[in-house]
Amino acid sequence: MSLTKTTNVDQITVTENGIVLYREATRIMEDGNELSKTYHRTSLTPGQDLTGIPANVVAICNVAWTPEVIAAYQAQVAAQQELMGVQ
């Protein structure tokens, strides 16, 4: 009987405003049979630090997050904060 645990990114989505969403699937396997599977979802905002993020997700962020996308996202956040009275 051999138990193994694997975690891999199985979904990556880029939203209209540049937010990158990704899902990691963790599988527990016994002799090739899946015993359990769990998911963990993470969101990344344009320009966010990518330290510790899986390489395939970083590659997507580097393509999606152009300087224009980052500036537009930051302007959107600033406008929302201004509406809410947050500084």
User: How far is it, in rounded angstroms, from Cα 65 to Cα 24?
Assistant: 21
The 3-state DSSP class for residue 30 equals strand
Kindly report the pTM of this predicted structure: 0.86
Query: Would you tell me how many other CB atoms lie within 10 Å of the CB of residue 22?
Result: 21
User: How far is it, in rounded angstroms, from Cα 39 to Cα 71?
Assistant: 31
Provide the pLDDT for residue 87.
60
Residues in CB range of 43: below 8 A, 6 or more apart = 19, 20, 21
Each residue's pLDDT tens digit, 18-34? 999 999 999 999 998 99
